[in-house]
Structure 1
Amino acid sequence: MKEYRRRVLDKMLLDRLEAKGAVVLEGPKWCGKTTTALQVARSVLRMDDPARRDSNIQMSEIDPQRLLQGEVPRLIDEWQIAPKLWDAARYEIDSRGEEGQFIFTGSSVPVESEEITHSGTGRFTWLKMRPMSLAESGESTGEVSLSELFKAPERIEGVNPIEIDELAYLICRGGWPRAVGMKEKPALEQAFDYYEAVVRSDINRADGVQKNPERVKKLMRSYARNQGAQVAYTVLRDDIAANDTDSISEDTVASYVNALKKIFVVEDMSAWNPNLRSKTAIRTADTRYFTDPSIAVAALGIGPKDLVNDLETLGLLFEALCVRDLRVYAESAGGEVLHYRDKSGLECDAVIHLGDGSYGLTEIKLGGNRLIEEGAKNLITLSEKIDTSRMKKASFMMVVTGVGDFAYRRPDGVYVVPIGCLKE
């Protein structure tokens, strides 16, 4: 049995259990939800256990409270298989009058069901788990803390252990806990297995509608080509139609994308809307991302050598890896990651925005002095546009790089941080 690797979510889970009757731990399959929940659970109900699945579902119809009995916190794994457990848990929480009763884990949002009559407000709290960041999988040294950057340190230090070949491998391997520590060949196969499961069956679980596997593949391939872009469903539709003998409607594309969101394969990024000194029009479309860059790799059918030989695609998928890691690190500080772009073309790849209104501006560049200089210039230009009489000044500006030897603070105050040095 593999040794448990610390997850950023560990402390957050404990904190939430102290605050609410139940924690709903959501995220894609294979990202480690059950393993993490088992570190604190005192009893377990596995709804997807093949030996007991049918009897558990039957019991959830007859007497759901019986399935909830056990030492607390009680883990209800893949709870969406029996939606009636939701209202039963809500009733139990009210009856017991204590916090930390249940952990619900699930790899899909349940299909709309009349069996769920209560939202869970006041009793449930939600946590989203993602595949491992590089700090969690042990590839980042963790010498630079994202949360510490909000204190604007005068000096940062870090040595990047990741060369370009390893970076390409880490993008292709992804953050799947099962793949971490494996030899290269089987590790790389994990993302392809995940992709095949999504195409063949998992996407159909999201809404109970059978989908054409070939069209799912074409959509995911189009999504992979548009990582980090603000493209409409019409663009995805036209891209798919160019390689499909049959026509496909925009509504069909939207339904497929929504199904991928429900099983946490896709996690688009919302736009940031700051107060600006000028009346610059800000683009508000979401930016397209998979929850892990390895899904894009699998959809495109490529590997590490392909990325090293195609630096444009490597840069595109490196950005997706950074977004995954920044989301993990930002969430631990109670923040979210947003995207900025205005009609003039000025862009900021990632804005880490905290609940108290503090924020950091981040550009993502594969590496090289020219790209770092370009990223720093963009950040400074954006920071000068912000009306600091109506909102806070940026806590920090950072260029995250893939290659490059060191983490450091530039004379203009912009931090340059290799992703191999960053942590929460």
Structure 2
Amino acid sequence: MCSERIGRCAFDQYDEVVREAVDYVPRRAAELVAEALLDTRVVVLNGARQVGKSTLAEKVLRQHGGAARYLDQGPVRAIAEADPGAFVQHDGLLLIDEVQRVPDLWLEIKHTVDRDPRPGRFLLTGSARLLALKELPDALPGRSETVELWPLSQGEIDGTTDGFVDSAFARGPELRVDWRELRKKDYLMRARRGGYPEALLRDSPRRRTKFFEGYLADLMARDVKQVADIDKASDMRKLMSLLAAQTAGMLSFNRLAGELGLSTNTVKRYVEILETIYLVRTVPAWSANATTRAVATPKVFFVDSGIAAHLGADEGALLENFVLGELARQLTWSETRATLHHYRDRDQYEVDAVLEDHLGRVIGVEVKAAESVRTDDFRGLRLLQRRLGDRFLAGFVLYSGEFSGSFGNGMTCLPISALWTS
């Protein structure tokens, strides 16, 4: 068997390497959790179902010491419901897994950390965005920090840097990466595989399909019901398929409402539910005074590209979803404090991803499925550059080819693998 990491192995060996690597692959969120426990009373590890929250929390607990209590176990949950005050008492760090199952614990945790404000008292995990659950009586303002755990990034799988965001802001158009023998079919394979640990363990696309089918059914039966009552589950499933068909595209609530036969407000509520359970994310439109013709419509992408592929996203949209997902993951741990947007104006100029840091500096990213790059691929990036002047640091076209190179005046092409090898 190949002894190197996935990024250095032939693609026909991926499944074997993933099975070996996925059980111990370090998560970048682990460092964020450990840092937060040093100065914060309550740390919440949140994210989609089956992304490895419990496993990560247990590893952090082993490093710090403490006790763990799992509310998916009936007897443990019964004790927590009967006497939540006694349940949360512990001298050191206490991990409570699936904490949303007993909402009364939140007030007891608040009382406990108010009386004893030492940092590192509680590490909490849950399967839906906890702060959005209506049953929660208090969101612990000023006492807690939430760390989001996404499906595995490509760098976590490959053991590489995952440093594009920081490198792009630090090096601008001078950024280059080593040659990689990855082409369009390889990137599509990665996108269809996704980043859920259990999906990575499946031996074939057919077996991964079974995982995605079960995952979505479980999501509908459990997580959706945690955050909202919906009239027809079939409407939500149809909405997910429609979103996959336009993934990484403009989010038109009116059009979706027409296709579903629902009100626009209902569709907006359904999309909010899908965001709450970490199935999709919306990317807000970016604008500035210098770009007054920008439109305000958001884009939507799936948190895991494997789900988008399972629901029918076409190749071009799937690769853009793949790139947006990797960028969004990196923004949770990058040293650069930046936000993710997209740009489109009434003249049909667009940029797939706009990263703006806290100083107002901008990096533009275009995604192309092709294995070659043309000057015209920089059309939207050059428009932003003209309008923003010195605020615009660099424009990148990420494509399915192998080489890095300059297209002049702050524009650079990079292989998509630059996302996790920079």
TM class by shorter chain equals 0.7 to 0.9
Counterparts of 1:53-72 in structure 2, within 5 Å, are: 53-56=77-80, 58-59=81-82, 63-70=83-90, 72=92
Q: Which residue of 2 aligns with 1:272?
A: 286
Post-superposition Cα deviations, 1:320-371, rounded to whole Å, max 9, x if no partner, equal 011110011122123321111122222111112233433311111113334x
The structure whose residues are more often helix, as a share, is: 2
CA–CA separation in structure 2 for the residues paired with 1:352 and 1:394? 10
User: Within 1, Cα distance between the matches of 2:163 and 2:110?
Assistant: 41
Contact 2:242–2:256 (CA<8 Å) still a contact in 1? yes
Structure 1 residues 257 and 295, CA gap change in structure 2 (3 angstroms): same
Q: Once superposed, what is the RMSD of the aligned Cα atoms?
A: 2.5
Normalising by structure 2, we get a TM-score of 0.85
> Which of 175, 189, 198 pairs up with 2:210?
189
Runs (5+) with no aligned partner, structure 1? 242-247, 301-306, 308-312
Matched, 1:413 2:410: yes
Work out whether residues 352 and 365 of structure 2, in 8 Å CA contact, stay in contact via their aligned partners in 1: yes
Which amino acid counterpart does residue 319 of structure 2 have in structure 1?
F
Alignment map for 1:210-221 (pairs within 5 Å):
210-221=230-241
Q: Could you tell me which amino acid in structure 2 is paired with residue 296 of structure 1? A: A
Counterpart residue number, 1:284? 296
- Checking the alignment, whether the CA contact within 8 Å between 2:168 and 2:175 is kept in structure 1 is no
Alignment length, in residue pairs? 392
State which of 42, 50, 56 in structure 2 corresponds to 1:30. 50
5+ residue gaps, structure 2: 1-19
Distance 1:193 1:327 in 2: 25
Q: Structure 1 CA distance, aligned partners of 2:393 and 2:30?
A: 26
CA distance in 2, matches of 1:46, 1:373: 56
CA deviation after TM superposition for structure 1 residue 252, in Å: 2.8
Q: Deviations over 1:220-264 (max 9, x none)?
A: 1111112122232221122224xxxxxx33333233222222211
What letter corresponds to residue 154 of structure 2 in structure 1? L
Partner of 2:362: 359
Cα deviations across residues 25-46 of structure 1 (Å, max 9, x unaligned)?
A: 2211111222222221232121
Q: Kindly state the Cα deviation for residue 113 of structure 1 after the two structures are TM-superposed.
A: 4.3
Question: What CA deviation, in whole Å up to 9, does each residue of 1:272-311 have, x standing for no partner?
Answer: 22231x6x322122212221122222223xxxxxx8xxxx
What TM-score, normalized by structure 1, do the two folds share?
0.84
Q: Note the 1:118-133 alignment, pairs <5 A.
A: 118-133=138-153
Identity level (%): 23
Whole-Å separation in 1 of the counterparts to 2:145 and 2:162: 31
Match of 2:266 among 242, 252, 265: 252
Change over 3 Å in CA distance of 1:35–1:416 after alignment to 2: farther
Partner of 2:353: 350
**What is residue 310 of structure 1 aligned with on the other side?**
none
CA 1:385–1:400 in 2, change beyond 3 Å: closer, same or farther?
same
User: How big is each residue's C-alpha offset from its partner over 1:17-73, in whole Å with a ceiling of 9 and x where there is no partner?
Assistant: 2231112222111112222222212321211224533333x23xxx32322234643
Alpha-carbon shift at residue 142 of structure 1 (Å): 4.2
Match of 1:399 among 397, 403, 406: 397
1:108 aligned counterpart, secondary structure: coil
Distance 1:269 1:144, change over 3 A: closer
CA distance in structure 2 between the partners assigned to 1:273 and 1:34 by the alignment: 39
> For residues 51-102 of structure 1, what are the alpha-carbon distances to aligned partners after superposition, in whole Å with 9 as ceiling and x for unaligned?
533333x23xxx3232223464322212111122222222222222211221
In 1, distance between residues paired with 2:360 and 2:32? 20
Specify whether residues 373 and 49 from structure 1 end up closer, same or farther in structure 2 by C-alpha distance, changes over 3 A only: farther
Among 285, 300, 305, which residue is 1:293 paired with? Answer: 305
